[in-house]
Amino acid sequence: MPSRRHCLQALGAAGALGLALALPGCGRERPRSRPVPAGAVVLALGDSLTWGTGAPPDASYPAVLARLTGWQVVNAGVPGDTSAQGLARLPALLAEHRPALVIVSIGGNDFLRRLPDTETRTNVRAICEQALKSGAQVLLAAVPRATVAAAMGQMTDHTLYAEIADQLHIPLQREGWGEVLADADLRSDAVHANARGYEEFARSLMGTAVAVGLLAR
């Protein structure tokens, strides 16, 4: 099945993004969202992949996304954080920044530490629900599951992200990290991107934001 990135590339002009939502192999129709204007505060909650481990600070995906979109993207990534730790940090971050959009990309450390999937699912869902309750929109970014195949470069999103996105009717960034971390040229080590990888992810995330209506183009 073709990846979302390849599907979007096949469309050509950005004006065909509406068609992308209906193309076979590009996933189900995504929820429509309200546009987030330039200058709005966007909170990027996550772990080392959000922080930008393996690249200079100005090459982290939140920094690149800010340049691409004009959003004020707050990098709330903490290396080593689990979903439970991200959930614990979230209330203070929401109160401080009052974001219009929260990008949630967390769970990789749960998988690496073999924490129960039920706990990770509960925590990620609670993060999304708290963000929604604050008045922010949410964009959930799927993280690959930790498997033997993943160690060999065959990355597959953990199913819990699609389940949560469907349950809460929020947009999902599919395969973004998987496509980056499966490519040795885009990694700084086995589990982190390099500067090129973070830029690739930010551009992929921007494509999803445009497709679901979070970003006008």
**Which residues are catalytic, by number?**
48, 189, 192
Please give the backbone phi and psi of residue 183, each rounded to the nearest 5 degrees, phi first. Answer: -110, 110
In this structure, the chain runs to a length of 217
CB-based burial of residue 132 (10 Å sphere; 0-12 exposed, 13-18 middle, 19+ buried)? middle
* d(C-alpha 174, C-alpha 176), whole Å: 6
Alpha helices in the chain (DSSP H): 4-11, 17-20, 48-51, 61-69, 83-97, 108-112, 117-133, 148-151, 159-168, 176-181, 195-212
Work out whether the CA dihedral 47, 50, 51, 56 comes out positive or negative: positive
- Cα-based torsion angle of the residue sequence 115, 191, 158, 147 in order, rounded to the nearest 10 degrees: -70
